[in-house]
Chains A and B, each alone.
Chain A
Amino acid sequence: MTGWMLFWGILLLVTLVLYAVLVVNVTIGGFADIRQMLKKLSDNQTDDDS
């Protein structure tokens, strides 16, 4: 039990830290990606109209 417990405890801690880093990275970067995506869709629409 002790071996498994240690393994799951470390895995949980590492996961939580990685998750926190991922959330910060994706929150900031994802917002920029949304703007880019909407711009691209908007450009496509303009191309279709012309």
Chain B
Amino acid sequence: MLESNFSLLDWGIVALYLAGTVVIGMVVNRYIVGMGEFLVAGRSLRTRLGVATMIGSELGLVTAMYSAQKGFTSGFAAFHIGLLAGIATLVVAVTGFIVVPLRRMGIMTIPEFYERRFGSRKLRMVGGFILAAAGILNMGLFLKAGAIFVTGLTGIDESAVRWVMTSMILLVLVYTALGGMVSVIITDYAQFVVLSLGLLLTCVLAVWKIGWSTIVEGVQEIHGNAGFDPFDDAGMGGSYVAWNFFLGIVSCAVWQTAVMRACAAESVAVVKRMYAWSSIGFIIRFMIPQFIGICALVFLWQNNEAKVVFFDASGSISLDPEVTMRAMPVFLGQLLPAGVIGLVAAGMIAAFMSTHDTYLLCWASVLTEDVINPATGGRMSQRARLTLTRVLLFVIASFLVLWGLWYELGQDLWDYMAVSGSIYFTGAFAVLIGGLYWKRATAKGAFAAIMVGVFAVVGLKPVQERLNILEWTEAHEITGAHIGLTISLLAILTMVVVSLVTKPTTPNSENA
């Protein structure tokens, strides 16, 4: 394999950054006096810091990896994912769709909304469990993506990387457990600055070294028209585009980590401003890494040594998702000079930690606030809830190490994440729309919609294999996008039908 430019200086830059993040976690610990500070930073987030932390947590190493992979496997056509995500976020900013009513209610988590709107504690507990399960499954391959990135970029042995990644997740745990949302926000800010500079520099260097016309001609030669037209059925196709617009809406308005940011904002006006600015961020988080993936495609195609690894004998891109995921870091290891590569690595590893801290905190707090505490009748003290959240951080992290290292990825990472996330958001989307905008919606309707959403798990290739339907879905060209869109519509339909045939509930009527 190609030898990386990663040097001792680059390791130094990375080490310095990691040490800095731990110090931040320890320093801000003194500001944490209760769950309000731990989970939503005392609702003191202002616009520009809100934008930094929103982009910082969403533009993680994993985002960079799956976006670069999409650029590599689909060419410029992949840009539609970022464009639609940006448009969807702007629509939410202008209309306040879902997030503004949630902020007005002053909730901390989506399942908390279930209870307050439908008056059902059981709904909150079931919804919370499904949300956390889907969320943990969704981040199950973060560690694997991180390991592939570090191996590809630095050229070190993969077996050593497992230990490096395990050490890194322990580091994330330490400062998340210490500082909660306050440390998450500050480290997200630092990560935003470092990674943004690294990514901008990488784009400029890539175009400068490869040349714009070479990049365009390369994509044309490898992908043909499907490398530019997202509606071309030889590539992505119309249903995939529709699925990505839906994903754009849910990732900024329904996905718990984004909702947590909205709920941490100082006011409704800040929420709207934050989303308007973040719409640019949502385009960037996909497009910039996708462009780097496209540059990697052309660069590796032109390199005979790399070509045998990333392409098959007929010149087609490798069908192994773990191979195509490696393209971006290998390319960066070749493109960037010593020093700059350390800056990018620090930014990416910071991004890895930032995503982990946000998600770990999010799912641990959902399990505490929405499943375990309600199960005890809400009798847990503030101190007990904080301790439980911190214990759960370690339990989830342990699961991630096992799942990430042993699960066989059967599809592009972006598609795995979309499907695993849809186990939660297909049902939650129906419940949020019904609960916020339709007075007739009932708790039983919400419960049924959440249960229908669970069937989205069928979109995962290993699950299809277990159910013996993989050959059938492939023969009929049924993708995760088709399954996700169908389940979403079914969940909305279920919400409507069951609500109409059941008696409306008043808030807290089922809690007694």
Binding site for B on A (CB under 8 A): 1, 4-5, 8-9, 11-12, 15-16, 18-20, 22-23, 25-27, 29-34, 36-38, 40-42, 44-45, 48
Contact = CB atoms under 8 A, between A and B. Distances in A.
Nearest to B50: A33
Interface residues of B, number: 45
B203 interface: yes
Contacts of A4: 76-77, 228-229
A30 B225 contact: no
Contacts of B137: none
A19 B200 contact: yes
17 contacts: A4-B229, A5-B228, A8-B79, A15-B280, A16-B288, A19-B280, A22-B51, A22-B277, A22-B281, A23-B196, A26-B51, A27-B193, A29-B47, A30-B193, A33-B50, A44-B37, A48-B33
Given A33-B46, A37-B44, A38-B31, A19 B220 contact: no
Contact of B76 (A8, A22, A33): A8
A37 B83 contact: no
B150 interface: no
B229 A12 contact: no
Interface stretch (B168-176, B182-190, B255-263, B324-332): B182-190
Contacts, number: 110
B351 interface: no
A35 to B, nearest CB: 10
B76 A5 contact: yes
Interface residue SS majority, chain A: helix
B200 A20 contact: yes
A1 B228 contact: yes
Contact of B46 (A1, A25, A36): A36
Interface of B: 28, 31, 33, 37, 41-42, 44-52, 55, 76-77, 79, 82-83, 182, 185-186, 189, 192-193, 196-197, 200, 203, 212, 216, 220, 225, 228-229, 277, 280-281, 283-284, 287-288, 291
Contacts of B44: 36-37, 40-41
Nearest to B193: A27
B280 to A, nearest CB: 5
B287 A15 contact: yes
A26 B192 contact: yes
Nearest to B225: A1
B42 A40 contact: yes
